[in-house]
Chain A
């Protein structure tokens, strides 16, 4: 079971770049790293997924070093609407060999005016 560790909370200001780092020392060779975002009173929604190096989409970038023991979600120029909880997931294998997503406590990001 690849356990993840993230900061419990972070604060930022509008217009700044925010980097949230997730540690996953026991990541398995075939595991992917996936990030979700959750706004209050809503279910989480997918942000980005990667295996190694760098992945970028219209919402965020994901940086994964060569040893894959950590990953960093980067949110460019945050706004108040980026205030949310961010979850880092690494796959685990059930008895049937499927990838079963397991969420930790996530990182609560608060963006200030």
Chain B
């Protein structure tokens, strides 16, 4: 049982490049989400999914796309990277969106730098 696995751990992009941050969980969780964490800003919700085929926007969705074709995977796509997207990205999952008796499980993060 690996929990939530994020890849890569580190990534450097040039402005305008695209990439996909991978997130996979093996706990059969319905809810998955992406956060970004910047110094002094806490975690801000980018996108989330309450089940396969269902996604919705969080607080800071601009510049990011997601899809949820399977229960296990929830990739985050940057179509045209910008320096403002330099951040640490965390993926999280839970049985029912982190509510009652359903805490979030986080991955160890992807540190992205856009130059």
Contact = CB atoms under 8 A, between A and B. Distances in A.
Chain A binding surface, main DSSP class = loop
B109 A100 contact: no
Nearest to B88: A41
Contacts of A95: 56
Contacts of A46: 103-105
A102 interface: yes
Given A98-B50, A105-B42, A44 B56 contact: no
Contact of B99 (A36, A45, A91, A104): A91
Contact of B104 (A36, A42, A98, A106): A36
Interface residues of B, number: 30
Interface of A: 32, 34, 36, 41-46, 49, 87, 89, 91, 94-96, 98-106
22 contacts: A32-B99, A34-B98, A42-B106, A43-B90, A43-B92, A43-B107, A43-B109, A44-B43, A44-B90, A44-B92, A44-B106, A46-B105, A87-B42, A98-B99, A100-B48, A100-B58, A100-B97, A101-B99, A101-B104, A103-B45, A105-B40, A105-B41
